[in-house]
A and B are shown apart, each in its own frame.
Chain A
Protein backbone atom coordinates (compact mmCIF):
# COMPACT_ATOMS: atom_id res chain seq x y z
CA UNK A 1 0.00 0.00 0.00
CA UNK A 2 1.53 3.29 -0.94
CA UNK A 3 0.56 6.68 0.32
CA UNK A 4 0.72 9.02 -2.61
CA UNK A 5 1.73 12.48 -1.58
CA UNK A 6 -1.55 14.17 -2.23
CA UNK A 7 -3.12 16.52 0.24
CA UNK A 8 -6.21 15.65 2.19
CA UNK A 9 -8.28 18.02 0.13
CA UNK A 10 -7.08 16.60 -3.17
CA UNK A 11 -7.87 13.05 -2.06
CA UNK A 12 -11.32 14.16 -1.06
CA UNK A 13 -11.96 15.85 -4.36
CA UNK A 14 -10.87 12.80 -6.33
CA UNK A 15 -13.34 10.44 -4.77
CA UNK A 16 -17.08 10.49 -5.11
CA UNK A 17 -17.52 8.19 -2.14
CA UNK A 18 -18.98 9.62 1.04
CA UNK A 19 -17.92 9.25 4.64
CA UNK A 20 -14.28 10.22 4.42
CA UNK A 21 -14.36 12.89 7.11
CA UNK A 22 -16.53 10.82 9.40
CA UNK A 23 -14.54 7.60 9.14
CA UNK A 24 -11.12 9.24 9.33
CA UNK A 25 -12.25 11.49 12.16
CA UNK A 26 -13.58 8.61 14.20
CA UNK A 27 -10.48 6.54 13.48
CA UNK A 28 -8.15 9.30 14.62
CA UNK A 29 -10.11 10.21 17.75
CA UNK A 30 -10.50 6.59 18.80
CA UNK A 31 -6.87 5.81 18.11
CA UNK A 32 -5.62 8.90 19.86
CA UNK A 33 -7.73 8.68 22.98
CA UNK A 34 -7.35 4.97 23.64
CA UNK A 35 -3.85 4.26 22.41
CA UNK A 36 -1.74 7.30 21.66
CA UNK A 37 -2.45 9.64 24.58
CA UNK A 38 -1.99 6.91 27.19
CA UNK A 39 1.27 5.91 25.52
CA UNK A 40 2.46 9.49 25.61
CA UNK A 41 1.69 9.49 29.33
CA UNK A 42 4.10 6.61 29.71
CA UNK A 43 6.76 8.33 27.63
CA UNK A 44 6.59 11.50 29.73
CA UNK A 45 6.16 9.94 33.14
CA UNK A 46 9.68 8.66 33.77
CA UNK A 47 11.07 12.09 33.04
CA UNK A 48 9.39 13.42 36.14
CA UNK A 49 12.33 11.75 37.82
CA UNK A 50 15.65 13.58 37.68
CA UNK A 51 17.73 12.01 34.91
CA UNK A 52 20.35 10.41 37.16
CA UNK A 53 17.62 8.74 39.17
CA UNK A 54 15.94 7.54 35.99
CA UNK A 55 19.25 6.11 34.83
CA UNK A 56 19.70 4.40 38.20
CA UNK A 57 16.20 2.96 37.97
CA UNK A 58 16.94 1.44 34.58
CA UNK A 59 20.44 0.22 35.39
CA UNK A 60 19.63 -1.34 38.75
CA UNK A 61 21.03 -4.89 38.65
CA UNK A 62 17.61 -6.46 39.13
CA UNK A 63 16.12 -4.42 36.29
CA UNK A 64 19.02 -5.10 33.95
CA UNK A 65 18.91 -8.80 34.59
CA UNK A 66 15.15 -8.85 33.98
CA UNK A 67 15.54 -6.94 30.72
CA UNK A 68 18.38 -9.20 29.66
CA UNK A 69 16.26 -12.27 30.40
CA UNK A 70 13.19 -10.97 28.55
CA UNK A 71 15.02 -9.79 25.45
CA UNK A 72 17.68 -12.52 25.37
CA UNK A 73 15.23 -15.37 25.72
CA UNK A 74 12.83 -13.66 23.30
CA UNK A 75 15.58 -13.59 20.69
CA UNK A 76 16.43 -17.24 21.33
CA UNK A 77 12.76 -18.22 21.14
CA UNK A 78 12.26 -16.23 17.92
CA UNK A 79 15.24 -17.96 16.30
CA UNK A 80 14.10 -21.41 17.42
CA UNK A 81 10.64 -20.64 16.06
CA UNK A 82 12.17 -19.38 12.81
CA UNK A 83 13.91 -22.72 12.21
CA UNK A 84 10.95 -24.90 13.17
CA UNK A 85 8.46 -22.44 11.68
CA UNK A 86 10.26 -22.73 8.36
CA UNK A 87 10.18 -26.53 8.51
CA UNK A 88 6.49 -26.55 9.47
CA UNK A 89 5.58 -24.05 6.74
CA UNK A 90 7.55 -26.12 4.21
CA UNK A 91 5.77 -29.31 5.24
CA UNK A 92 2.37 -27.58 5.14
CA UNK A 93 2.90 -25.98 1.72
CA UNK A 94 4.88 -28.63 -0.14
CA UNK A 95 3.75 -32.01 1.13
CA UNK A 96 0.44 -33.81 0.92
CA UNK A 97 -0.45 -36.12 3.75
CA UNK A 98 -3.53 -37.12 5.75
CA UNK A 99 -4.20 -34.84 8.70
CA UNK A 100 -2.56 -31.85 7.07
CA UNK A 101 -5.58 -29.62 7.64
CA UNK A 102 -5.51 -30.52 11.32
CA UNK A 103 -1.80 -29.72 11.64
CA UNK A 104 -2.49 -26.43 9.91
CA UNK A 105 -5.29 -25.55 12.32
CA UNK A 106 -3.34 -26.56 15.43
CA UNK A 107 -0.60 -24.02 14.62
CA UNK A 108 -2.95 -21.25 15.76
CA UNK A 109 -3.51 -22.77 19.21
CA UNK A 110 -1.28 -20.18 20.92
CA UNK A 111 -3.42 -17.44 19.35
CA UNK A 112 -6.62 -19.04 20.57
CA UNK A 113 -5.49 -20.20 24.00
CA UNK A 114 -5.44 -17.56 26.76
CA UNK A 115 -1.90 -17.05 28.01
CA UNK A 116 -2.83 -17.91 31.59
CA UNK A 117 -4.12 -21.28 30.41
CA UNK A 118 -0.93 -21.90 28.47
CA UNK A 119 1.01 -20.87 31.56
CA UNK A 120 -0.53 -23.35 33.98
CA UNK A 121 -0.52 -26.11 31.35
CA UNK A 122 3.16 -25.66 30.52
CA UNK A 123 4.02 -25.32 34.17
CA UNK A 124 2.25 -28.59 35.00
CA UNK A 125 3.82 -30.32 32.00
CA UNK A 126 7.37 -29.29 32.84
CA UNK A 127 7.16 -29.41 36.65
CA UNK A 128 9.56 -31.97 38.17
CA UNK A 129 6.62 -34.37 38.60
CA UNK A 130 5.01 -33.47 35.24
CA UNK A 131 4.92 -35.64 32.11
CA UNK A 132 7.85 -33.93 30.42
CA UNK A 133 9.47 -32.51 33.53
CA UNK A 134 9.97 -35.91 35.15
CA UNK A 135 11.44 -37.33 31.94
CA UNK A 136 13.83 -34.41 31.64
CA UNK A 137 14.79 -34.68 35.32
CA UNK A 138 16.31 -38.08 34.59
CA UNK A 139 18.82 -36.30 32.39
CA UNK A 140 19.33 -33.68 35.08
CA UNK A 141 17.50 -30.99 33.11
CA UNK A 142 15.19 -28.69 35.01
CA UNK A 143 12.89 -26.53 32.94
CA UNK A 144 10.13 -25.31 35.24
CA UNK A 145 11.10 -22.56 37.68
CA UNK A 146 14.33 -21.82 35.77
CA UNK A 147 15.16 -19.47 32.86
CA UNK A 148 14.56 -22.42 30.52
CA UNK A 149 10.92 -22.30 31.54
CA UNK A 150 10.84 -18.74 30.21
CA UNK A 151 12.23 -19.99 26.91
CA UNK A 152 9.71 -22.84 26.63
CA UNK A 153 6.76 -20.50 27.22
CA UNK A 154 8.10 -18.00 24.68
CA UNK A 155 8.65 -20.69 22.04
CA UNK A 156 5.04 -21.77 22.60
CA UNK A 157 3.39 -18.38 22.26
CA UNK A 158 5.52 -17.10 19.36
CA UNK A 159 5.43 -20.10 17.01
CA UNK A 160 2.37 -19.05 14.97
CA UNK A 161 4.02 -15.74 14.10
CA UNK A 162 6.86 -17.35 12.14
CA UNK A 163 4.76 -20.09 10.54
CA UNK A 164 2.01 -17.70 9.48
CA UNK A 165 4.35 -15.15 7.91
CA UNK A 166 6.45 -17.71 6.00
CA UNK A 167 3.60 -19.98 4.85
CA UNK A 168 1.76 -17.64 2.42
CA UNK A 169 4.98 -16.36 0.87
CA UNK A 170 6.22 -19.91 0.31
CA UNK A 171 2.88 -20.87 -1.22
CA UNK A 172 3.06 -17.94 -3.61
CA UNK A 173 6.67 -18.61 -4.53
CA UNK A 174 5.74 -21.36 -6.96
CA UNK A 175 8.19 -23.84 -8.40
CA UNK A 176 9.18 -21.95 -11.54
CA UNK A 177 12.35 -20.45 -10.19
CA UNK A 178 13.38 -23.76 -8.64
CA UNK A 179 12.92 -25.49 -11.98
CA UNK A 180 14.88 -22.74 -13.68
CA UNK A 181 17.72 -23.23 -11.21
CA UNK A 182 17.69 -26.98 -11.84
CA UNK A 183 17.96 -26.57 -15.61
CA UNK A 184 20.86 -24.19 -15.03
CA UNK A 185 22.75 -26.97 -13.26
CA UNK A 186 22.08 -26.26 -9.58
CA UNK A 187 21.93 -29.15 -7.10
CA UNK A 188 18.93 -29.44 -4.78
CA UNK A 189 21.00 -27.98 -1.95
CA UNK A 190 22.06 -25.04 -4.11
CA UNK A 191 18.44 -24.47 -5.12
CA UNK A 192 17.37 -24.32 -1.48
CA UNK A 193 20.31 -22.19 -0.38
CA UNK A 194 20.52 -19.76 -3.29
CA UNK A 195 16.98 -19.55 -4.63
CA UNK A 196 14.38 -20.59 -2.05
CA UNK A 197 15.81 -19.25 1.21
CA UNK A 198 16.82 -15.83 -0.18
CA UNK A 199 13.34 -15.46 -1.64
CA UNK A 200 11.87 -16.28 1.77
CA UNK A 201 14.29 -14.10 3.71
CA UNK A 202 12.03 -11.04 4.13
CA UNK A 203 9.22 -13.27 5.38
CA UNK A 204 11.53 -15.14 7.75
CA UNK A 205 12.90 -11.89 9.19
CA UNK A 206 9.39 -10.46 9.54
CA UNK A 207 8.33 -13.58 11.37
CA UNK A 208 11.34 -13.37 13.67
CA UNK A 209 10.62 -9.71 14.44
CA UNK A 210 6.96 -10.41 15.22
CA UNK A 211 7.85 -13.44 17.33
CA UNK A 212 10.51 -11.48 19.19
CA UNK A 213 8.19 -8.57 19.93
CA UNK A 214 5.49 -10.90 21.19
CA UNK A 215 7.86 -13.02 23.28
CA UNK A 216 9.67 -10.07 24.85
CA UNK A 217 6.40 -8.57 26.07
CA UNK A 218 4.84 -11.86 27.15
CA UNK A 219 3.66 -12.09 30.73
CA UNK A 220 0.76 -14.47 31.34
CA UNK A 221 2.21 -17.76 30.18
CA UNK A 222 5.66 -17.11 31.67
CA UNK A 223 4.96 -16.17 35.26
CA UNK A 224 3.54 -19.60 36.06
CA UNK A 225 6.47 -21.59 34.73
CA UNK A 226 9.41 -19.25 35.42
CA UNK A 227 9.54 -19.40 39.20
CA UNK A 228 10.15 -15.64 39.15
CA UNK A 229 13.39 -15.57 41.15
CA UNK A 230 14.81 -12.03 41.15
CA UNK A 231 17.98 -11.78 39.04
CA UNK A 232 17.49 -15.31 37.69
CA UNK A 233 14.10 -16.02 36.19
CA UNK A 234 12.26 -12.75 36.69
CA UNK A 235 11.07 -11.17 33.42
CA UNK A 236 10.79 -7.43 32.80
CA UNK A 237 6.98 -7.28 32.56
CA UNK A 238 6.74 -8.96 35.97
CA UNK A 239 9.07 -6.31 37.40
CA UNK A 240 6.63 -3.66 36.19
CA UNK A 241 3.81 -5.46 37.98
CA UNK A 242 5.86 -5.76 41.19
CA UNK A 243 6.80 -2.08 41.08
CA UNK A 244 3.17 -1.10 40.60
CA UNK A 245 2.10 -3.25 43.54
CA UNK A 246 4.62 -1.34 45.64
CA UNK A 247 3.32 1.99 44.29
CA UNK A 248 6.73 2.68 42.72
CA UNK A 249 5.14 4.26 39.65
CA UNK A 250 8.32 5.91 38.42
CA UNK A 251 10.26 2.66 38.68
CA UNK A 252 7.53 0.81 36.82
CA UNK A 253 7.43 3.53 34.18
CA UNK A 254 11.21 3.37 33.73
CA UNK A 255 11.06 -0.34 32.87
CA UNK A 256 7.94 0.29 30.80
CA UNK A 257 9.64 2.96 28.73
CA UNK A 258 12.50 0.62 27.85
CA UNK A 259 10.01 -2.03 26.77
CA UNK A 260 7.95 0.47 24.80
CA UNK A 261 11.11 1.75 23.12
CA UNK A 262 11.90 -1.79 22.06
CA UNK A 263 8.36 -2.11 20.68
CA UNK A 264 8.81 1.04 18.60
CA UNK A 265 12.13 -0.18 17.26
CA UNK A 266 10.58 -3.50 16.26
CA UNK A 267 7.72 -1.66 14.58
CA UNK A 268 10.14 0.46 12.57
CA UNK A 269 12.17 -2.62 11.68
CA UNK A 270 9.00 -4.36 10.51
CA UNK A 271 8.04 -1.42 8.33
CA UNK A 272 11.51 -1.31 6.80
CA UNK A 273 11.30 -5.05 6.14
CA UNK A 274 7.93 -4.63 4.48
CA UNK A 275 9.09 -1.97 2.05
CA UNK A 276 12.20 -4.04 1.30
CA UNK A 277 10.06 -7.07 0.53
CA UNK A 278 7.71 -4.99 -1.62
CA UNK A 279 10.63 -3.79 -3.72
CA UNK A 280 11.66 -7.32 -4.59
CA UNK A 281 8.21 -8.45 -5.65
Chain B
Protein backbone atom coordinates (compact mmCIF):
# COMPACT_ATOMS: atom_id res chain seq x y z
CA UNK B 1 0.00 0.00 0.00
CA UNK B 2 2.87 2.35 -0.63
CA UNK B 3 3.74 4.91 -3.27
CA UNK B 4 6.54 3.72 -5.57
CA UNK B 5 7.89 6.07 -8.22
CA UNK B 6 10.42 4.31 -10.44
CA UNK B 7 12.85 6.09 -12.82
CA UNK B 8 10.31 8.53 -14.21
CA UNK B 9 11.46 10.76 -17.08
CA UNK B 10 9.80 13.69 -18.79
CA UNK B 11 11.23 15.74 -21.59
CA UNK B 12 9.91 19.16 -22.76
CA UNK B 13 11.55 19.69 -26.12
CA UNK B 14 15.25 19.66 -25.26
CA UNK B 15 14.74 20.30 -21.57
CA UNK B 16 14.69 17.24 -19.30
CA UNK B 17 12.23 18.13 -16.54
CA UNK B 18 12.59 14.69 -15.00
CA UNK B 19 15.65 12.54 -15.66
CA UNK B 20 14.87 9.30 -13.87
CA UNK B 21 13.28 10.27 -10.57
CA UNK B 22 12.67 7.44 -8.09
CA UNK B 23 11.01 7.55 -4.69
CA UNK B 24 9.32 5.13 -2.28
CA UNK B 25 7.04 6.31 0.49
CA UNK B 26 4.85 4.30 2.86
CA UNK B 27 1.08 4.67 2.95
CA UNK B 28 0.01 7.66 5.01
CA UNK B 29 3.33 9.45 4.73
CA UNK B 30 3.63 13.21 4.40
CA UNK B 31 6.27 13.70 1.70
CA UNK B 32 7.93 17.01 0.85
CA UNK B 33 9.46 17.49 -2.59
CA UNK B 34 12.14 20.08 -1.90
CA UNK B 35 14.35 21.72 -4.46
CA UNK B 36 15.21 24.86 -6.40
CA UNK B 37 12.92 26.03 -9.20
CA UNK B 38 13.35 23.99 -12.37
CA UNK B 39 14.35 20.88 -10.43
CA UNK B 40 11.26 19.01 -11.64
CA UNK B 41 9.24 18.89 -8.43
CA UNK B 42 6.05 20.39 -9.88
CA UNK B 43 6.30 18.17 -12.95
CA UNK B 44 6.50 15.12 -10.69
CA UNK B 45 3.49 16.32 -8.73
CA UNK B 46 1.49 16.87 -11.91
CA UNK B 47 2.36 13.36 -13.06
CA UNK B 48 1.03 12.01 -9.78
CA UNK B 49 -2.17 14.03 -10.34
CA UNK B 50 -2.64 12.77 -13.90
CA UNK B 51 -2.13 16.20 -15.45
CA UNK B 52 1.02 15.12 -17.28
CA UNK B 53 2.24 11.79 -18.60
CA UNK B 54 5.90 10.76 -18.15
CA UNK B 55 7.89 9.64 -21.18
CA UNK B 56 9.05 6.54 -19.32
CA UNK B 57 9.07 5.01 -15.84
CA UNK B 58 6.31 3.64 -13.61
CA UNK B 59 4.27 4.84 -10.68
CA UNK B 60 2.47 2.36 -8.43
CA UNK B 61 0.22 3.39 -5.61
CA UNK B 62 -1.82 1.11 -3.34
CA UNK B 63 -1.13 -1.76 -5.76
CA UNK B 64 -2.62 0.21 -8.65
CA UNK B 65 -0.81 0.98 -11.86
CA UNK B 66 -1.27 4.69 -11.25
CA UNK B 67 -0.27 5.90 -14.71
CA UNK B 68 -2.89 3.81 -16.48
CA UNK B 69 -5.66 5.65 -14.68
CA UNK B 70 -6.99 8.94 -16.04
CA UNK B 71 -6.83 11.89 -13.71
CA UNK B 72 -10.50 11.78 -12.83
CA UNK B 73 -10.34 8.14 -11.62
CA UNK B 74 -7.31 8.58 -9.39
CA UNK B 75 -9.02 10.42 -6.55
CA UNK B 76 -5.90 12.46 -6.07
CA UNK B 77 -6.95 15.70 -4.42
CA UNK B 78 -4.85 18.44 -5.99
CA UNK B 79 -4.34 21.83 -4.34
CA UNK B 80 -3.01 24.27 -6.92
CA UNK B 81 -0.48 26.96 -6.19
CA UNK B 82 -2.96 29.68 -7.08
CA UNK B 83 -5.86 27.56 -5.80
CA UNK B 84 -7.73 27.41 -9.16
CA UNK B 85 -11.06 27.91 -7.43
CA UNK B 86 -14.11 28.10 -9.68
CA UNK B 87 -14.79 31.83 -9.59
CA UNK B 88 -18.41 31.58 -10.70
CA UNK B 89 -19.32 29.16 -7.90
CA UNK B 90 -19.90 29.86 -4.22
CA UNK B 91 -17.51 28.36 -1.69
CA UNK B 92 -20.02 25.58 -0.90
CA UNK B 93 -20.49 24.81 -4.60
CA UNK B 94 -16.74 24.67 -5.08
CA UNK B 95 -16.42 22.11 -2.29
CA UNK B 96 -19.40 20.08 -3.51
CA UNK B 97 -18.11 19.97 -7.10
CA UNK B 98 -16.20 16.70 -6.84
CA UNK B 99 -19.26 14.96 -5.37
CA UNK B 100 -21.74 16.43 -7.83
CA UNK B 101 -19.83 15.34 -10.91
CA UNK B 102 -19.81 11.68 -9.89
CA UNK B 103 -21.82 9.28 -12.05
CA UNK B 104 -25.41 9.00 -10.86
CA UNK B 105 -25.00 5.61 -9.19
CA UNK B 106 -22.04 6.79 -7.08
CA UNK B 107 -23.32 10.28 -6.35
CA UNK B 108 -24.39 10.93 -2.75
CA UNK B 109 -27.90 12.25 -2.16
CA UNK B 110 -28.31 16.03 -2.15
CA UNK B 111 -28.76 16.11 1.62
CA UNK B 112 -25.62 14.03 2.12
CA UNK B 113 -23.60 16.33 -0.11
CA UNK B 114 -24.87 19.29 1.86
CA UNK B 115 -23.91 17.67 5.15
CA UNK B 116 -20.48 16.74 3.84
CA UNK B 117 -19.87 20.31 2.67
CA UNK B 118 -20.82 21.63 6.07
CA UNK B 119 -18.46 19.20 7.79
CA UNK B 120 -15.65 20.28 5.53
CA UNK B 121 -16.38 23.95 6.04
CA UNK B 122 -16.14 23.33 9.74
CA UNK B 123 -12.93 21.39 9.31
CA UNK B 124 -11.30 24.29 7.47
CA UNK B 125 -12.88 26.79 9.87
CA UNK B 126 -15.00 28.61 7.30
CA UNK B 127 -18.42 27.68 8.72
CA UNK B 128 -20.22 30.89 7.80
CA UNK B 129 -18.65 31.53 4.44
CA UNK B 130 -20.30 28.81 2.35
CA UNK B 131 -22.35 31.27 0.32
CA UNK B 132 -19.45 33.64 -0.40
CA UNK B 133 -17.66 33.72 -3.71
CA UNK B 134 -13.89 33.17 -4.04
CA UNK B 135 -13.31 36.83 -4.95
CA UNK B 136 -14.72 37.81 -1.54
CA UNK B 137 -12.16 35.76 0.42
CA UNK B 138 -8.63 36.45 1.64
CA UNK B 139 -5.69 34.45 0.34
CA UNK B 140 -5.57 32.22 3.40
CA UNK B 141 -9.29 31.55 3.19
CA UNK B 142 -9.04 30.64 -0.49
CA UNK B 143 -6.24 28.25 0.36
CA UNK B 144 -8.48 26.51 2.89
CA UNK B 145 -11.38 26.31 0.43
CA UNK B 146 -9.04 24.69 -2.10
CA UNK B 147 -8.03 22.16 0.52
CA UNK B 148 -11.63 21.44 1.54
CA UNK B 149 -12.53 20.96 -2.11
CA UNK B 150 -9.72 18.44 -2.54
CA UNK B 151 -10.70 16.62 0.65
CA UNK B 152 -14.36 16.39 -0.37
CA UNK B 153 -13.70 13.57 -2.82
CA UNK B 154 -12.20 11.46 0.00
CA UNK B 155 -8.90 11.37 -1.83
CA UNK B 156 -6.50 8.47 -1.80
CA UNK B 157 -3.68 10.94 -2.14
CA UNK B 158 -3.34 14.66 -1.46
CA UNK B 159 -1.11 16.67 -3.78
CA UNK B 160 -0.17 20.22 -2.87
CA UNK B 161 1.78 22.56 -5.15
CA UNK B 162 3.56 25.22 -3.06
CA UNK B 163 0.50 25.32 -0.83
CA UNK B 164 1.67 28.37 1.07
CA UNK B 165 3.56 30.06 -1.73
CA UNK B 166 1.15 32.95 -2.17
CA UNK B 167 0.60 33.69 1.52
CA UNK B 168 2.41 36.00 3.89
CA UNK B 169 4.78 34.62 6.52
CA UNK B 170 2.42 34.83 9.50
CA UNK B 171 -0.50 33.03 7.85
CA UNK B 172 1.95 30.47 6.51
CA UNK B 173 3.14 29.37 9.95
CA UNK B 174 -0.42 29.06 11.25
CA UNK B 175 -1.52 26.96 8.31
CA UNK B 176 1.45 24.58 8.55
CA UNK B 177 0.45 22.92 11.78
CA UNK B 178 -3.14 22.94 10.77
CA UNK B 179 -2.42 21.23 7.43
CA UNK B 180 -0.32 18.58 9.15
CA UNK B 181 -3.22 18.01 11.53
CA UNK B 182 -5.67 17.60 8.65
CA UNK B 183 -3.33 15.16 6.92
CA UNK B 184 -3.11 13.01 10.03
CA UNK B 185 -6.86 13.10 10.49
CA UNK B 186 -7.67 12.18 6.87
CA UNK B 187 -5.13 9.35 6.82
CA UNK B 188 -4.10 9.99 3.22
CA UNK B 189 -0.69 9.90 1.59
CA UNK B 190 0.31 13.50 0.89
CA UNK B 191 2.94 14.92 -1.39
CA UNK B 192 3.72 18.61 -1.31
CA UNK B 193 6.04 20.74 -3.33
CA UNK B 194 8.09 23.48 -1.71
CA UNK B 195 11.30 25.41 -2.19
CA UNK B 196 11.36 26.40 1.48
CA UNK B 197 13.51 23.91 3.46
CA UNK B 198 12.30 25.13 6.83
CA UNK B 199 8.75 24.35 5.76
CA UNK B 200 9.74 20.93 4.44
CA UNK B 201 11.60 19.94 7.59
CA UNK B 202 8.90 21.27 9.90
CA UNK B 203 6.03 19.39 8.30
CA UNK B 204 7.14 16.28 6.44
CA UNK B 205 7.76 12.68 7.46
CA UNK B 206 9.96 12.26 4.42
CA UNK B 207 11.92 14.93 2.59
CA UNK B 208 12.94 14.26 -1.01
CA UNK B 209 15.54 16.73 -2.24
CA UNK B 210 15.36 17.24 -6.00
CA UNK B 211 17.91 18.59 -8.44
CA UNK B 212 17.93 18.64 -12.24
CA UNK B 213 15.10 16.16 -12.62
CA UNK B 214 16.48 13.64 -10.14
CA UNK B 215 15.81 12.90 -6.52
CA UNK B 216 19.15 13.35 -4.82
CA UNK B 217 18.18 12.07 -1.40
CA UNK B 218 15.12 10.81 0.43
CA UNK B 219 14.96 10.52 4.16
CA UNK B 220 13.41 11.70 7.39
CA UNK B 221 14.09 15.35 8.16
CA UNK B 222 16.60 14.36 10.84
CA UNK B 223 18.59 12.08 8.57
CA UNK B 224 18.68 14.48 5.65
CA UNK B 225 19.74 17.35 7.85
CA UNK B 226 22.34 15.42 9.81
CA UNK B 227 23.76 13.49 6.91
CA UNK B 228 23.36 15.14 3.49
CA UNK B 229 23.81 12.40 0.90
CA UNK B 230 25.37 14.45 -1.87
CA UNK B 231 27.32 17.61 -2.38
CA UNK B 232 24.25 19.26 -3.87
CA UNK B 233 22.04 18.47 -0.86
CA UNK B 234 24.69 19.72 1.49
CA UNK B 235 25.06 22.87 -0.57
CA UNK B 236 21.31 23.43 -0.97
CA UNK B 237 20.71 23.07 2.75
CA UNK B 238 23.47 25.59 3.32
CA UNK B 239 25.75 23.44 5.45
Contact = CB atoms under 8 A, between A and B. Distances in A.
Interface of A: 176-177, 179-187, 190, 194-195, 198-199, 201, 279-281
Tell me the dominant secondary structure on chain A's binding face: helix
B201 interface: no
Contact of A180 (B74, B80, B88): B80
B71 interface: yes
B84 A180 contact: yes
B80 A281 contact: no
B26 interface: no
Contact of A280 (B80, B84, B88): B88
Contact of A184 (B51, B87, B149): B149
Contact of A199 (B51, B88, B135): B88
B84 A176 contact: yes
Interface string B36-58: 00000000000001110000000
Contacts of A194: 97, 101
A259 B228 CA distance: 78
B78 interface: yes
Contacts of B51: 179, 182-183
B101 A177 contact: no
A185 B75 contact: yes
Given A184-B101, A186-B101, A281 B87 contact: yes
Contacts of B98: 184-186
Contacts of B159: 183
B135 A281 contact: yes
Contacts of B82: 176
A261 to B, nearest CB: 32
Given A177-B84, A177-B85, A199-B88, A184 B135 contact: no
Nearest to A184: B98
Nearest to B79: A180
Q: Which of B50, B85, B98 has the most CB of A within 10 A?
A: B98
Given A179-B80, A279-B135, A187 B101 contact: yes
